[in-house]
Amino acid sequence: MVAAISVQNVSKLYNKVPVVDNLSIDIEEGEIFGLLGPNGAGKSTTIRMMITLTQPTQGKIQVAGYDIDKHREQVKRNIGVVLQQISIDGELTVWENMEFHGRMHHIPSNKRQSLIDQWLDYMSLSDRKDTLAKTLSGGMKRRLQIARALLHQPQILVLDEPTVGLDPQNRRRLWEVIRDLNRQGMTILLTTHYMEEVEFLCEDSGTRKQGRIGIMDNGKLIELGTLSDFRRKYGEGLVIKQVEDHLDYKFFPTLDQANLYLETLVDKTGVMSRASNLEDIFVEMTGHRLD
């Protein structure tokens, strides 16, 4: 099966410094994939290379089987993109923003009108058709960006930090949209520095496969797998001990084993056990917190 996105030994150097360093990832068709890492890890640069906005210094990237160097148009046709910066035209109405994108992609008029209606409805923006985009709330602007990215019916949706700057309610709403699109079969790649975002989006929802998480730090992919894989590898149980001004983390294969260990301690002051989460595992992998 052709990978939806295939990144093979890709590096990007700025001023001779690698900001993406020999990265290889295959994102499968229909998969939801979260690229997690701190600011400056190289996530946006990776996305920018995939969507042909910047060229890799070395390595090979294919999107829907098309090489990003040789087949830029096919790559653009197969991929919908929501960049971190709000990129809609504030002086145009919601409808005009959609119309402009549809024309850029040469979607015939009849089909264009019905697709605009369909996606504005899906994103709950139908009643805002004639509103100037600059007057929309942050959450609405983001939904418009997504509606626009989906208009040319791409197979793959790429979102760079989709919920930055959104309040918890709007963030949750976008997560539901992203999960629903994935349930309908769309391949989703998103970057984020929010642990809870990948935990929510890449969890096993019952109706679709658990998504994978790639952890990036200093331009390198340092871990790749599902949250269950990580918890199995690093430990599902944790004992945390306050030592002077910092916390000591000790991982155990299961929570039961962590609890048993806690029981054996004579002095339990400042010690607790609990199930490990992605944040604990991230700190264990990288030696530092995400924020």
Ligand X SMILES: Nc1ncnc2c1ncn2[C@@H]1O[C@H](COP(=O)(O)OP(=O)(O)OP(=O)(O)O)[C@@H](O)[C@H]1O
Phi then psi for residue 287, to 5 deg, are: 80, 5
Q: Which of 83/133 has CB closer to ligand X?
A: 83
CA atoms of 71 and 38, how far apart (whole Å):
32
Give the C-alpha separation, 58 to 112, whole Å: 38
Regarding 39 and contact with ligand X (CB under 6 A), the answer is: yes
- Report, in Å, the least distance between residue 259 CB and ligand X: 37
Which CB sits closer to ligand X, 12 or 173? Answer: 12
122 contact partners, CB below 8 Å, separation of at least 6: 147, 177
Distance in Å, CB of 257 to ligand X, minimum: 35
Least distance (Å) from ligand X to the CB of residue 16? 11
Closest by alpha carbon to 251, among 268, 269, 275?
275
Q: Least distance in Å: CB of 8 to ligand X?
A: 19
Calpha distance 10→25 (Å, rounded): 9
Q: Tell how far CA 104 is from the center of its chain.
A: 26
225 binds ligand X, rule: CB under 6 A: no
Q: 210, 173, 267: which is closest to 28 by C-alpha?
A: 210
Element (H, E) at 230: helix 227-234
Contact with ligand X (CB under 6 A): which of 37, 139, 162, 235? 37
Q: Which residue has the tokens 């160097």?
A: 69
Q: Under the criterion CB under 6 A, does residue 40 sit at the interface with ligand X?
A: yes
DSSP 14: E
Q: Tell which one of 6, 7, 44, 280 touches ligand X (CB under 6 A).
A: 44
Nearest CA to 220 out of 55, 15, 18 is that of 18
Selected from 41, 98, 120, 240, the binder of ligand X by CB under 6 A is 41
Q: How far is the CB of 245 from ligand X (least distance, A)?
A: 29
Q: Which stretch binds ligand X (CB under 6 A): 35-43, 60-68, 166-174, 180-188?
A: 35-43
Q: Which is nearer to ligand X, 193 or 231 (CB)?
A: 193
Q: Looking at 14, 91, 121, 172, which residue binds ligand X (CB under 6 A)?
A: 14
Residue nearest to ligand X (CB): 44
Asked if 186 contacts 155 with a C-beta cutoff of 8 angstroms, the reply is yes
Binding mask 59-78 for ligand X (x = CB under 6 A): --------------------
Cα 171 to Cα 21, 75, 177, distances in angstroms? 31, 28, 10
Nearest in space to 20 (alpha carbons), one of 222, 211, 281 = 222
**Smaller CB separation from ligand X, 13 or 271:** 13
- The helix/strand/coil state of 87 is coil
Nearer to ligand X, 21 or 26 (CB): 21
Q: Which is nearer to ligand X, 40 or 225 (CB)?
A: 40
Work out whether 19 is an interface residue with ligand X (CB under 6 A): yes
211 binds ligand X (CB under 6 A): no
Residues that bind ligand X (CB under 6 A): 14, 19, 37, 39-45, 161, 193
